[in-house]
Amino acid sequence: MLELEIVCNEGFVLIRADQLASVTADDLRKFGMSREQLQKLFAEGARLMQGKTAADRVRPCAAQTMDGTWKVGLVRYSAVTDPPLDSSAKGKA
């Protein structure tokens, strides 16, 4: 299942695709984006993840640039240093 890590003023937030419908207006305000923008970021993350497997140890991460636009890139992670994101105990929005 696709997950997107968002870097925002609240810190790092991990959202799974099945949690998109439960993201509230307050959550979006904290993230500093609209629901449409969040959906676009997920779509970009899905595009970047095409052809990737769990063995690649990458996930999409969205961050806002200095000019206010959002960019999605793939970031590497380690199962040793980041176990909650590598196991079935996934984070919530």
Work out the pLDDT band at 89, boundaries 50, 70, 90. very low
Q: How high is the pLDDT of residue 83?
A: 53
Residue 33, C-beta contacts closer than 8 angstroms, at least 6 positions apart: 41, 70
DSSP secondary structure letter of residue 14: E
Listed in sequence order, the DSSP H helices in 18-75 are: 25-31, 35-49
Distance CA 22, CA 19 (A): 5
pTM over 0.85: no
Q: Where are the domains of the chain?
A: 3-86
* Residue 85 scores a pLDDT above 70: no
Cα separations in angstroms, 51 against 9, 54, 56, 69: 31, 10, 10, 26
Distance CA 32, CA 77 (A): 25
* Residue 90 scores a pLDDT above 90: no
Amino acid found at 39:
Q
